[in-house]
Structure 1
């Protein structure tokens, strides 16, 4: 498995020489400065790739080449947007970057309600509180339909939190929810979010799936021609949110996606944290079922609460058996070697570390501290080395 590290380029307060000290050899990067829907020029890609190579790394994965919201909505004539996406793919391939992670979550990417939840022993983590999310939807956004999305005990807890909250608490909650947009630096206020959501009125799961299948049909043939691998990131959290449908949340969703355009180029980013937040998901089993289509892995762990809340756990703690999961990925690499595939090595990155020690002083992107992720990478590296030494047949 290829040790990689997410780097936000010029927006990142962690510099490439610091990343080099982690031992990672691959960089996961994107041209976040390019507006959604526009072409990533070959010149811009070459400049970024050159910067990464000069620091001693390989640009191993694009995360992400964003999909314009109009494609997700199926809104109007999309031919130019599809053409631009394919051209960006061709420009990346020409510079040797052939793996693209992307998501198909409407409007928002990952969503958390707390960015600095305290961790036992010190430090902080990202947390999704179902009561706080319900408070936001019901009492701040005023989305009456959300009554049906939360059980009674969560709605009661939401009402209590809202009654006791200050304006500063509510502003902090809004900021936390908006923080999962790493590439789209625009942030909504409550009124703006309410307006943005109206563009998705009437968009259900079936319609979103139709739009997703159309996207795959438009771009996967190009990926095959270019020798590229696309890999969808699961929904985070893996449930409908803000009235927006989610369609990459469980084993049945993934099965549908892989069959919508049946090609090895149509693959999966195995995110153990996103999938692990759904109590119905057995993450190692999902990895085993779709192993031949996993082109990238986000390795992190979550600890779930009965009310639907969850928080980021240490990488080897939490509810997912990380040792069993890594064993699946290592066994898949062995299978690919035996099959003669060219894409043998699965790149992975330690995802969403705790903020520990001096991390809080750096002001990095939420969930992406230096020391917390370094701890996670070291732990994961140890598991990989131990399983490789044993010959990797675990579970």
Structure 2
């Protein structure tokens, strides 16, 4: 697998020379400064490529390998407003990316909220910090801060009692930090919301069933996948994070069955998968090895990280935290081995995409990470530790292929 690194552009606190020192072989990035729904021009794409190729010492410069993400607009997801114009905008951005030599494009179809955490700096026993999703805290925001209509009905009565007790102990500062973490958007998120804007968008989705949202996804893919296939671009959908409904909105890419449905509905090699072992691993029935063996030929990009479920929980939804890469609920060793077997199959079949790009996703803030500004979830030392561990798995398995 090709070892890549997520970089958020010139605003990222981690420099390109530092990334080179991690041993990363390529860059995953996006044009975050371009508004959702606008075309990514050739000039802007080439500018970002040049920023990545800046002098980095001896050796060949890094290059932009994976686009993450070419954002799907809320208009497309909800099929409201000028969503048909956004189809063409998306197709044109794909054409421009292909013209610049980019062929792997990650996206997601999570409505309104992208990946969500309630605590960005939860203390660890070793002195570092990790990100955490606490279901009680999230429900406190949903029920008592956002005051979403019908929110109390989405949780059991016994769980609401726990939520009320927790909320009653929260200071104004704690409530403000919780709101900021959920609403303001995390790195790579589509939008930054205010409470009023969030409520307005929730109203749009209040009448959207899970089947309707899934149908909207299939409609989107039916519009853009033929263009991607013609251009030689591999689209790959990232799973929902976490893999269960939030704020009363449905989610449609949370399980093997979800991926199977979408892959069959638009059956093309250009319609593929971003496997994120951390996002999907929050679901108790997720089996990383089985997923790779089932969808291996359509996996175009991989996020390798781990999560660990814990109380409090309410039904199928649970709290969780970002664990060490090799110490969570997902079998990352088995997943990496399965991915290496998939690469071997592709080489034997003569596939041009036999090398699958991966990146160490998220990570604990450790050592010098704690003393410098960092994108939440994207520290330098913590991700470098994860990459080293994953590299060790690959190095130990490769001779047996």
Q: TM-score, normalised by structure 1?
A: 0.96
Q: Distance in 2 between matches of 1:142 and 1:351?
A: 33
8 Å contact kept, 2:184–2:194:
no
Aligned length: 391
In structure 2, the CA distance between the partners of 1:388 and 1:152, relative to structure 1 (3 Å rule), is farther
Q: Which aligned runs of 4 or more in structure 1 are off by greater than 4 angstroms?
A: 183-186
> Unaligned regions of 5+ residues in structure 2, if any?
none
RMSD, matched Cα:
1.4
Deviations 1:283-318 (A, max 9, x none): 221121101100000000001014100000000001
Q: 1:13 corresponds to which residue? A: 13
Q: Distance in 1 between matches of 2:219 and 2:202?
A: 22
Deviations 1:99-132 (A, max 9, x none): 0000000011100011011112120101000111
SS in 2 for 1:158: helix
Q: 1:330 corresponds to which residue? A: 340
Q: 1:157 corresponds to which residue? A: 162
Q: 2:368 corresponds to which residue? A: 358
Q: 1:97 corresponds to which residue? A: 102
1:218 lines up with 2:223 in the alignment: yes
SS in 2 for 1:199: helix
Match of 2:380 among 366, 370, 386: 370
- Which residues of 2 match residues 259-338 of structure 1 at below 5 A? 259-306=264-311, 307=313, 308-338=318-348
8 Å contact kept, 1:303–1:310:
yes
Q: 1:46 corresponds to which residue? A: 46
Q: Distance in 2 between matches of 1:102 and 1:220?
A: 13
Match of 1:202 among 197, 200, 207: 207
Match of 1:126 among 125, 128, 131: 131
SS in 2 for 1:298: strand
8 Å contact kept, 1:238–1:274:
yes
Q: 2:35 corresponds to which residue? A: 35
Q: Distance in 1 between matches of 2:29 and 2:194?
A: 28
Deviations 1:230-286 (A, max 9, x none): 000000000000111100001110111111100111000000000001112112211
Match of 1:379 among 375, 384, 389: 389
1:241 lines up with 2:246 in the alignment: yes
Deviation at 1:41, TM superposition (A): 0.4
Q: Distance in 1 between matches of 2:355 and 2:229?
A: 19
Deviation at 1:183, TM superposition (A): 4.5
> Unaligned regions of 5+ residues in structure 1, if any?
none
Q: 1:189 corresponds to which residue? A: 194
Q: 2:140 corresponds to which residue? A: 135
8 Å contact kept, 2:306–2:328:
yes
SS in 2 for 1:268: strand
